[in-house]
């Protein structure tokens, strides 16, 4: 009987811990998993439906400060989980606050490596502050599907 109570207490504590972790910033593992889930969704549902779902702020590809972005290899935004106004814009010349041309670098890394992490600074959609960000990306045909974490 004591063992059962201890097991229930441990289960409750682990559920509470996972809930607490879920309230904070997304993790690298969560970003990687979401990118892979997004790619699988695009492959099984097509680009139009996939990009629309990624761009849906209330959809399955937005979780706290984690969202997906899809860039064409020319730097044009095809889907954006945090700012639909960016869709269709070519951001190849966009630089972060430190002057880093992160979109150009992202496109080049997608073409040369295919799968990569990239560091730059960007506005966190939750805090509304410019923060260091690491973006995990995978090349999918003529695009890069990315999801990032704020540090």
Fold category of 26-150 in CATH: Beta-Lactamase (3.30.450)
Give CA–CA dist 150/123, Å, rounded.
Answer: 9
Predicted local confidence at residue 126, as pLDDT:
85
CB contact at 8 A, 82 and 67: yes
Give CA–CA dist 27/54, Å, rounded.
Answer: 19
pLDDT tens, residue by residue, 87-115: 999 999 999 999 999 999 999 999 999 99
| Positions in the chain short of pLDDT 70 | 1-23
CB contact at 8 A, 68 and 79: yes
pTM exceeding the 0.85 threshold for the entire prediction: no
Predicted local confidence at residue 131, as pLDDT:
94
Predicted local confidence at residue 29, as pLDDT:
97
Element (H, E) at 12: helix 2-23
Predicted local confidence at residue 23, as pLDDT:
67
């Amino acid at each position: 009987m004591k063992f059962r109570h201890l097991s229930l207490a441990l289960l409750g504590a682990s559920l509470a811990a996972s809930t607490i972790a879920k309230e904070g910033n997304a993790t690298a593992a969560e970003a990687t998993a979401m990118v892979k889930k997004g790619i699988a969704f695009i492959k099984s549902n097509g680009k139009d439906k996939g990009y629309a779902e990624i761009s849906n702020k209330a959809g399955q590809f937005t979780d706290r400060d984690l969202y997906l972005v899809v860039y064409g290899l020319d730097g044009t935004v095809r889907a954006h989980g945090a700012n639909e106004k960016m869709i269709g814009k070519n951001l190849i010349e966009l630089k972060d606050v430190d002057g880093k041309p992160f979109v150009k670098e992202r496109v080049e890394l997608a073409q040369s490596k295919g799968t990569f992490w990239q560091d730059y600074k960007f506005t966190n959609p939750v805090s509304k502050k410019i923060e260091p960000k690491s973006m995990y990306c995978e090349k999918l045909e003529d695009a890069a599907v990315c999801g990032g974490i704020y540090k």
